[in-house]
């Protein structure tokens, strides 16, 4: 049996083992499964230089878990470079599309999507989870997660945080998702539902505290 067929056999055996022992990783080969966010790609062989020269194309296993991209190598799963679309200053319109599906949903303090109800941080956590990204539960902790974004550099999909307390206590107690054009989507306790508001309105403009881009850390 030549080296080429031995390599193919090894790949097959590894794939079988990985699928059997790590079914929760949603490993797939040869196609993109949108439900499991599994990605695949044909790239140069990661075997010996001789094989790279003789067989330039190989199927390499790549998968996403909790917003992090991994590649299967001879020594196991390894994190690989984060997606450039998440790191560069690009709009994350997928976040916005997911968030808009919840417009009008009822506000309930402490709710995270059960029976279609949310509080502010429950909504943001739910939307990001649908994107394949896990973020903390409360607005105060969410405000410390992800890359800091200046207010004048906001992109669609960024999280924006506010101090909406009557006495301006100075700490974060509200969060929304920036959707562009000086607007953000949030679960409003005052409106009792998920709404879109203007960021430059007097109330929210003065109560703005910080903005974060969770995708930056999630994709590392």
- From 201, 141, 130, select the one nearest 175 (Cα to Cα): 141
- How does strand 208-213 pair with strand 147-148? antiparallel
DSSP 48-102: -HHHHHH---EEEEEEEETTEEEEEETTEEEE-PPPHHHHSS---HHHHHHHHTT
The answer to whether the beta carbons of residues 139 and 121 sit under 8 Å apart is yes
Which helix or strand (DSSP H or E) is residue 215 part of? Answer: helix 214-218
Cα gap 123→113, rounded to integer Å: 7
- From 171, 179, 153, select the one nearest 207 (Cα to Cα): 171
Cα gap 137→26, rounded to integer Å: 25
Cα gap 19→26, rounded to integer Å: 8
Catalytic positions, written as ranges: 120, 174, 186
């Amino acid at each position: 049996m030549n080296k080429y067929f031995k390599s193919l056999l090894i790949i097959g055996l590894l794939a079988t083992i990985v699928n059997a022992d790590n079914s929760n990783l949603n490993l797939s080969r040869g196609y993109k499964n949108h439900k499991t966010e599994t990605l695949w790609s044909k790239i140069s062989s990661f075997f010996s230089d001789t094989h790279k020269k003789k067989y330039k194309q190989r199927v390499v296993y790549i998968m996403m878990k909790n917003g992090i991209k991994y590649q299967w190598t001879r020594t196991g799963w390894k994190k690989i470079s984060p997606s450039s679309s998440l790191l560069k200053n690009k709009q994350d319109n997928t976040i916005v599309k997911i968030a808009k599906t919840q417009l009008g949903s009822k506000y309930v303090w402490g709710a995270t999507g059960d029976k279609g109800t949310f509080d502010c941080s429950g909504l943001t956590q739910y939307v990001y989870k649908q994107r394949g990204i896990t973020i903390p539960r409360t607005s105060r902790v969410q405000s410390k997660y992800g890359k800091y974004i200046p207010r004048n550099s906001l992109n669609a999909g960024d999280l924006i945080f506010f101090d909406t307390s009557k006495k301006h206590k100075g700490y974060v107690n509200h969060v929304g998702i920036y959707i562009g054009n000086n607007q953000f989507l949030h679960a409003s306790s005052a409106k009792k539902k998920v709404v879109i508001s203007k960021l430059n309105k007097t109330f929210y403009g003065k109560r703005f505290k910080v903005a974060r881009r969770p995708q930056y850390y999630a994709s590392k």
